[in-house]
């Protein structure tokens, strides 16, 4: 007996291929199409391909200068890299250029999920409170992104916009014992190099030398080389600008596990709603023994950073650790921008620090003070969020703030920003 598969495989005769059923139909149509294409003249095809590519590149350049985001409050799942949506540096700054006047005091909020407001609903976001406290002369833009560091994501937009907005501040969450690389680190470095190769970031010496050194180091690694080559090409093609814009406005073309039922839906159509279960989630976290145990251990370990045990096995401050922090942090931003950076040292939820002894608390406090001195020594402003000001109810989990905690962060941040004297003259733009 001869089945259809065998027919297709053995269907060649002296007069041509023999086809059966749907597969045969498809093969015939394909054959007809290919034969038609084969008869087309080559030069128009080649010219068309070049023209099509150039038109797309030109379109990418055009859309990169237009504001892409609509009704933007903060980055949420569908418009973030965790859902395969990678906004470009141009798209971030275009949004600000079209929504914030040059005479405003621009406050770019960066950092991680703490400042993205992961424990707050969109309408109770801490940056809305910050905007309210600062007043109409200020414009607050929340570009924080989950797991982003001090120099990641929003920091790139800040560096690009700094020459255009004479009154500008960059506010980010920070840890007293963590310093980030110039390009923001593994996950979000794409946006820094996107801006770098497109010439968007002003390169000031000696900071620029560190940037070039880092670029050379990263290009030695295959994945780093691929990233740098891709971003170098993108400065001419603007492929990322165009197709991200299309994905936001018209049709998204990349599979994401987060949106399996609406794969092609434009990402701009997703509007983040309120989560009514935040209080329940807070309870769940507290009731989870595993989570509590893990967080207690993390916090205890964290309280040893910057300390060494002496001969009597007692923890002592290691001044060299904070000297290293200070030295490394000098390379995070160009010198002239450091005084515009406000590093807010966020602390953990005291609910998960119940096993702390008096000595742990003492070290914890000393660490935050030393971290402040280290960063201030490098030229940054530091804002503390004292433990005494926060209660366990201000937190969703081990570190993310609920609305009440967000309001306290906003108050401390607004006071910190207003303490610094403003530049004399607003922008003439």
**Of the candidate residues 4, 57, 391, 427, the single one contacting other proteins (CB under 8 A):** 57
* Distance of alpha carbon 342 from alpha carbon 96, whole angstroms: 19
* Distance of alpha carbon 426 from alpha carbon 429, whole angstroms: 9
**Of the candidate residues 50, 203, 269, 308, the single one contacting other proteins (CB under 8 A):** 50
Question: What values do phi and psi take at 104, rounded to 5?
Answer: -85, 160
When asked if residue 82 is in the footprint of other proteins (CB under 8 A), the reply is yes
Q: Are strands 381-384 and 16-17 parallel, antiparallel or unpaired?
A: unpaired
**Of the candidate residues 129, 183, 234, 394, the single one contacting other proteins (CB under 8 A):** 234
282 closest CA partner among 404, 196, 100, 386: 404
**Of the candidate residues 1, 37, 358, 388, the single one contacting other proteins (CB under 8 A):** 37
* 126 within 8 A of 406, measured Cβ to Cβ: yes
406 closest CA partner among 128, 147, 144: 128
Q: Which stretch binds other proteins (CB under 8 A): 81-89, 165-173, 211-219, 410-418?
A: 81-89
132 or 281: CB nearest other proteins: 281
CA distances from 93 to 31, 128, 333, 366 (A): 49, 20, 18, 38
28 or 362: CB nearest other proteins: 28
When asked if residue 40 is in the footprint of other proteins (CB under 8 A), the reply is yes
When asked if residue 298 is in the footprint of other proteins (CB under 8 A), the reply is yes
Q: Which stretch binds other proteins (CB under 8 A): 77-85, 95-103, 129-137, 337-345?
A: 77-85
9 or 42: CB nearest other proteins: 42
In whole angstroms, the minimum distance from the beta carbon of 400 to other proteins comes to 8
In whole angstroms, the minimum distance from the beta carbon of 150 to other proteins comes to 18
Q: Which stretch binds other proteins (CB under 8 A): 6-14, 154-162, 231-239, 377-385?
A: 231-239
When asked if residue 27 is in the footprint of other proteins (CB under 8 A), the reply is no
**Of the candidate residues 129, 296, 394, 397, the single one contacting other proteins (CB under 8 A):** 397
**Of the candidate residues 23, 53, 225, 250, the single one contacting other proteins (CB under 8 A):** 53
- Positions in 184-203 near other proteins (CB under 8 A): 187, 190
398 or 416: CB nearest other proteins: 398
* 427 within 8 A of 161, measured Cβ to Cβ: no
CA distances from 309 to 321, 325, 360, 364 (A): 13, 19, 13, 15
**Residue 204, Cβ neighbours under 10 Å: how many?**
15
When asked if residue 230 is in the footprint of other proteins (CB under 8 A), the reply is yes
When asked if residue 83 is in the footprint of other proteins (CB under 8 A), the reply is yes
Q: Give the list of residues 6+ apart from residue 189 with CB closer than 8 angstroms, or none.
A: 152, 181, 183, 218, 227
Q: Which stretch binds other proteins (CB under 8 A): 127-135, 252-260, 265-273, 366-374?
A: 252-260
When asked if residue 48 is in the footprint of other proteins (CB under 8 A), the reply is yes
When asked if residue 146 is in the footprint of other proteins (CB under 8 A), the reply is yes
When asked if residue 32 is in the footprint of other proteins (CB under 8 A), the reply is yes
Q: Report how many residues bind other proteins under the rule CB under 8 A.
A: 55
- Positions in 99-138 near other proteins (CB under 8 A): 113, 118
Q: Which stretch binds other proteins (CB under 8 A): 1-9, 130-138, 338-346, 394-402?
A: 394-402
* Distance of alpha carbon 217 from alpha carbon 347, whole angstroms: 33
CA distances from 190 to 17, 88, 214, 215, 245 (A): 50, 8, 13, 12, 17
DSSP-assigned beta bridge partners for residue 13: 16
Question: What values do phi and psi take at 40, rounded to 5?
Answer: -75, 145
Q: Which stretch binds other proteins (CB under 8 A): 56-64, 203-211, 367-375, 420-428?
A: 56-64
| 3-state secondary structure (DSSP) of residue 138 | strand
**Residue 203, Cβ neighbours under 10 Å: how many?**
13
When asked if residue 154 is in the footprint of other proteins (CB under 8 A), the reply is no
When asked if residue 251 is in the footprint of other proteins (CB under 8 A), the reply is no
* 326 within 8 A of 391, measured Cβ to Cβ: no
**Of the candidate residues 140, 242, 382, 414, the single one contacting other proteins (CB under 8 A):** 242
Helix ranges (DSSP H) in 198-302: 207-219, 222-237, 239-249, 278-287, 289-302
Footprint on this chain of other proteins (rule: CB under 8 A): 32, 35-37, 39-57, 60, 81-84, 86, 113, 118, 146-147, 187, 190, 230-231, 233-234, 237, 239-240, 242-244, 253-254, 256-257, 295, 298, 397-400
């Amino acid at each position: 007996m001869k089945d259809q598969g065998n027919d297709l495989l053995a269907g060649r005769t002296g007069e041509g291929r023999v086809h059966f059923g749907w597969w045969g139909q498809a093969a015939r149509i394909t054959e007809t199409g290919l034969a038609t294409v084969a008869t087309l003249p080559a030069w128009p095809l080649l010219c068309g391909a070049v023209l099509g590519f150039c038109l797309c590149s030109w379109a990418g350049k055009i859309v990169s200068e237009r504001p892409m985001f609509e009704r933007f409050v903060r980055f949420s799942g569908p418009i973030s890299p965790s859902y395969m949506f990678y906004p470009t540096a141009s798209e971030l700054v275009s949004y600000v250029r079209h929504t914030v006047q040059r005479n405003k005091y621009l406050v770019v909020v960066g950092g991680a999920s703490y400042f993205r407001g992961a424990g707050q609903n969109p309408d109770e976001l801490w940056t809305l409170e910050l905007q309210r406290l600062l007043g109409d002369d200020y414009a607050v833009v929340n570009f924080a992104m989950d797991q982003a560091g001090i120099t990641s994501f929003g920091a790139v937009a800040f560096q690009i916009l700094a020459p255009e907005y004479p009154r500008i501040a960059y506010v980010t969450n920070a840890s007293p014992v963590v310093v980030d690389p110039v390009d923001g680190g593994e996950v979000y470095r794409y946006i820094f190099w996107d801006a770098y190769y497109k010439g968007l970031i002003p390169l000031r010496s000696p900071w620029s030398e560190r940037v070039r050194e880092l670029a050379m180091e990263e290009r030695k690694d295959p994945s780093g080389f691929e990233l740098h080559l891709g971003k170098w090409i993108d400065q001419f093609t603007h492929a990322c600008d165009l197709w991200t814009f299309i994905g936001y406005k018209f049709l998204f073309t990349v599979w994401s596990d987060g949106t399996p039922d609406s794969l092609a839906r434009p990402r701009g159509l997703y509007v983040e709603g309120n989560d009514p279960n935040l209080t329940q989630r807070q309870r769940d976290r507290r009731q989870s023994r595993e989570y509590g145990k893990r967080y207690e251990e993390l916090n205890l370990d964290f309280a040893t950073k910057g300390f060494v045990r002496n001969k009597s096995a007692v923890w002592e401050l290691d001044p060299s650790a904070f000297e290293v922090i200070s030295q490394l942090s000098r390379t995070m931003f160009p010198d002239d921008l450091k005084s515009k950076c406000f590093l807010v040292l966020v602390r953990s939820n005291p609910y998960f620090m119940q096993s702390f002894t008096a000595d742990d608390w003492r070290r914890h406090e000393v660490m935050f003070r030393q971290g402040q001195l280290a960063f201030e020594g490098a030229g940054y402003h530091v804002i503390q969020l004292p433990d005494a000001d926060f209660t366990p109810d201000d937190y969703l989990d081990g570190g993310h703030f609920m609305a009440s905690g967000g309001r306290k962060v906003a108050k401390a941040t607004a006071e910190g920003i207003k303490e610094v004297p403003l530049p004399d003259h607003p922008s003439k733009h």
